[in-house]
Amino acid sequence: MRDAPAGIPSQRRPLARWWSRHWHLFVFLTPAVVVYGMFMAYPLLSSLSYSVYEWDGFLRRGFTGLSNFVTVLTRWPYNERFWGALTHNTWFFVLTFAIQTTLGLFVAVLLAKKWRGFAFFQAAYFLPYTLSLVVVGFLWLMLLNPTWGMIAQGLRGLGLGEWVQPWLGQRATALTTVILVNAWGWLGFPMLVYLAAVQAIPQEFHEAAFVDGATPWQDFRFVTFPLLLPSIAMVTILTFIWNFNAFELVFVMQGASGSPNYATDLLATFFYRTAFGDPTTGGEPGQIGIASAIGVMMLLIIGFVSAFGVRFMQRSQTEY
Amino acid sequence: MVSSPTSRLLTRVIIYGFLFVLAVVFLYPVVLMVLTAFKPTPEIFRSPFGLPESWSLDTFATVWQRAKFGLYLRNSLLITGGSALLLLVTAAPAAYALARYTFKLKPVLFLFFLAGIMIPIRLGILPLYLLMRDLGLLDTPFSLIFTYAASGLPMSVFLLSVFFRNLPRELEDAARIDGCNELQIFYRIMLPLVRPGLATVVIVNVVPWWNDFFFPLLFIQSDTWKTIPLGMQIFFGQHLVNWSLVFSGMVLASLPLLIIYLIMSRQFIAGLTAGAVKG
């Protein structure tokens, strides 16, 4: 803090003096601390404590230690659902990551050339990102309908009728189809971030590389890519966080229990069913303790991976 | 690298071809959605790819009435607007204090906010639900407004503090000499200078709030405060066999953001990427 102006008499009580120098900080900070503390920090912290109690509906009973966690990890059907959902979330992230760091990155590098018409392409790729996942889900539910959907009709029109499958209805294809639908609505975002990052690289770097005889691939591999690493790391962390929270698309397209037969069940849908009851099985009551244990494990996974990712991002940062 | 004019032309053609195919993948489903919305259900099945035989707005009117779309639109506007207002009113002064003053608790507060950036608020849904119930906020717009503003705060405080930090110190000193107190310096001098930052914060947050389905699903039971995504999800579920109604509903639900996006896609994109790159 700044020193008090010389005119203020020093014999004033210290508390009053302290207050007169600091009151504006309270005015500035209190609203944010209250709103954030009450509606975000407090719920997140107390969700940790929810998981070590026994619950009767929304009433808290006795302390049970880690028994809710033991239930989730060892007792059927929770254990089967949990490992299933964890596997599905992992595949969700891996496939999304693979698409956005190959196709997304490649398109961003192309778009950075700023040729005529590229603004249109950029706007087109980003457009689905503005749609609500509810709309994305229902739109593709319709398009992928094996009887009346546009994709089935189109394939039949091309004489490829035998390619038509109930993509969302069979175990082998349902999850991957949902992930690809999600990628359709999401890819515009990583593309744009990568594009902004590519454009932020000074042109002289590329010129220097070409003067040294680099091929376009070498220019990408040794100039563009290393400078993009922080952006790639950041987008990957965000993707991981969102993919391990994914809920809407599966809820809308496959229902709360991830049909067919839990093939598209995710941690968030599993958590939702456990916490608020399963509407598809006739309304089994919610189990707050067990749901909280699932939530805490999601929190730990996300916390660890993103902390690790942030460290990687900081190390890959290059000043220029 | 040696490249003849013909091979360079060929590269260009391939690149444009590739980007065009990709544009079809992203754009055509949306175009198809809009075209289909004008067709009655039998026509959708009979000619799924043709232009609609008539451009009548009847189904849109039906959806508007039967799905209470006007009500949901009002709710979405009020809730998103209220959240944006609460976010700005809380985040801007906090960011200012963290950016331009030094005080003992500053590192602690910084860490307090930083912790929220990486952790999604959804993981606190059970305590949050009970808190809203105990405060009597369930089934009111305030449950959503407080949740959204709180979840947007960490990132917004950081984004805005970057903007505030970049303002020159002399401005502040000049205002102080002119007799402004600390609040006046913030409100009259500094705040107007970070308007681009405020716009970025709003754009970054408004899109996910407007499209959010998770919190309305849990917090809102009665029709009075349903938002567009929740109202539409229920409407689609009830009319799944009536494709005409569902497609019209999807177009109506997407229209507000689509219009804003088409009018100001450049600011939109700049805002979103700035948020991501600086965050």
Structurally, at CATH architecture level, domain A76-316 sits in: Orthogonal Bundle (1.10)
Domain boundaries, chain A: 76-316
Nearest to A135 by CA among B205, B76, B257: B257
Q: What 3-state class would DSSP assign to B217?
A: helix
Beta partners for residue A60, in sequence order: A55
Give the model confidence (pLDDT) of A157-174 as tens digits.
999 989 999 999 999 999
Give me the residue from B118, B181, B211 closest to A132, CB to CB. Answer: B211
Closest-CA distance of chain B to residue A69, Å? 16
User: Residue A81 is encoded by which pair of tokens?
Assistant: 């659902």
Angle ∠(B118,A69,A55) on CA atoms, nearest 5: 95
Cβ distance of B93 and A189 shorter than 8 Å: no
Beta partners for residue A55, in sequence order: A60
B234 vs A: CB within 8 A: no
| Cα–Cα distance measured from residue B180 to residue B173, given in angstroms and rounded to the nearest whole number | 10
| Cα–Cα distance measured from residue A259 to residue B226, given in angstroms and rounded to the nearest whole number | 26
- Helix axis angle for B243-263 and B58-66, nearest 10°, is 100
| Cα–Cα distance measured from residue A91 to residue B85, given in angstroms and rounded to the nearest whole number | 38
User: pLDDT truncated to tens, each residue of chain B (279 aa)?
Assistant: 456 788 889 999 999 999 999 999 999 999 999 999 999 999 999 989 989 998 989 889 999 998 899 999 999 999 999 999 999 999 999 999 999 999 989 999 988 998 888 889 999 999 999 999 999 999 999 999 999 999 999 999 998 998 999 888 888 888 889 888 889 999 989 999 999 889 889 988 998 999 999 999 999 999 899 999 999 999 999 998 899 999 999 999 999 988 888 887 777 777 766 655 443
Residue B165: how many CB atoms within 10 A of its CB? Answer: 12
Q: List C-alpha distances in Å: A20 to A6, A8, A70, B46.
A: 14, 11, 54, 77
Q: How much is the pLDDT for B150?
A: 97
Residue with tokens 């004033």: A12
Q: Which of residues 73-132 of A touch B (CB under 8 A)?
A: 107, 110-111, 115, 117-118, 120-132
Inter-residue contact A198 to A108 (CB < 8 Å): yes
DSSP assignment letter at B48 = S
Q: List C-alpha distances in Å: A66 to A54, A133, A294, A299, A302.
A: 10, 36, 12, 16, 20
A19 vs B: CB within 8 A: no
Q: Name residue A61's amino acid.
A: R
Q: How much is the pLDDT for B64?
A: 92
Q: List C-alpha distances in Å: A131 to A60, A241, B209, B252.
A: 40, 20, 12, 11
Q: Is the pLDDT of residue A129 over 70?
A: yes
| Cα–Cα distance measured from residue A183 to residue A38, given in angstroms and rounded to the nearest whole number | 34
Which residues in chain B are contacts of A47 at CB distance < 8 A?
A: 123-127
Domain boundaries, chain B: 5-56, 73-207
Nearest to A268 by CA among B121, B100, B59: B121
Residues 6+ apart with CB under 8 A from A169: A146, A259, A260
| Cα–Cα distance measured from residue B108 to residue A161, given in angstroms and rounded to the nearest whole number | 63
A271-293 burial, b at 16+ Cβ within 10 Å, e below that, comes to bbbbbbebeeeeeeebbbbbbbb
Q: What is the CA radius of gyration of chain B?
A: 24
Mean pLDDT of chain A: 90
CATH 3.40.50.1100 fits B73-207, yes or no: no
Closest-CA distance of chain A to residue B51, Å? 14
Complex ipTM value: 0.90
